Amino acid sequence: MRLFLLFIFLSLEIKAYSQENEFKIIRQNLKNWMLGKSDSIYFFKQNQFPIITNSLKDAYQVKRAREFWYNKNLNSFQTGNQNWQNVTDFSGRFQTFKGVLRAKFDIYEQILGGFTIHIQTINKDSIKFIVYDIKSKWSLFYHLPFIENTTFNNKKTKQKPMTNMIWWIEWTESIKTSLFYQRQFNEIFIKKKYSGHNF
C-alpha cells in the first residue's frame, strides 16, 4: 500500500493553491531521489512547509515522543523549576503493517515511514521538534532482507537511483500545561504510567 501511494503521489497534479508549491517541491524531490539526482539532505521547516509539518504533528510516533517529553519533564513542572530536559534519538518505528494502518491515507506519513525524533528546549515556553528521516531503498521496500542501501557519495555528481537521502523536518510547539496535568491525571486516577499511547 505504501509503495502504491508513493507512485500515486508522484503522478498526481494538485490544484489547491495553498498546497501547490509545497506538493510540487516534495514530489520533485522524490522523483530526483528515484532517478539518482537528489542532494544528500533536505530541510523542511515550519514556515516554508506548513502542510508536511502539520501532518506530522499528529503522527502516531510523534505523539508518542511528545508524551515521552512531558513525562520526562513532569517533575520539573511539579516543582516549578522548569528546567526542561531534551529528548534525543527517540525511535519512531513504522512497524510495517501497523504503520501503514496508523498512517492511513496521509501520504506524508506513508512516505516517511520510520524516523528518529529529537525534542529540544528553546526556552521555558516552547520546544522544537526535529524529525530525522533517511530515505532508502530498504525503507521503501519494507525492510526486505535482500534489498541493499546505497550511501550518498559526495565525490559523484550523479548518484545511483534511490541512494540514501536525509529529510530534516522541524517545527516549534508551545509547552502546554494541560498535557502535564493529563500526565498527572493518568498516573493518579487511572494508574496509567507512561506507555506512549495515552496522548
72-121 pLDDT, tens digit per residue, is: 999 999 999 999 999 999 987 766 656 555 656 666 776 777 789 999 99
pLDDT at 11: 46
Q: Whose grid coordinates read 498526481?
A: 12
The predicted structure's pLDDT at residue 77: 95
Measured distance CA(1)–CA(10) in Å, rounded: 14
Does residue 63 register a pLDDT over 50? Answer: yes
- On whether the CB atoms of residues 87 and 68 are closer than 8 A, the answer is yes
Residues 119-176: pLDDT tens digits?
999 999 999 999 999 888 777 776 677 777 888 888 887 788 889 999 999 999 999 9
Rg (CA), the chain: 19
Q: What is the pLDDT of residue 98?
A: 62
What predicted TM-score, i.e. pTM, was given to this entire model?
A: 0.80
Looking only at Cα atoms, what is the longest distance across the chain? 60
Task: Output 137-142 pairs: Cβ under 8 A, ≥24 positions apart.
Answer: 137/162, 139/113, 139/114, 140/2, 140/3, 140/6, 140/113, 141/3, 142/2, 142/96
> Is there a contact between 126 and 140 (Cβ–Cβ < 8 Å)?
no
Assign 173 to helix, strand or coil.
strand
- Give residue 18's pLDDT: 46
Query: Whole-number mean pLDDT of the chain?
Result: 81
The domain limits of the chain are 2-188
Half-sphere exposure of 70 (CA within 13 A, CB side): 27
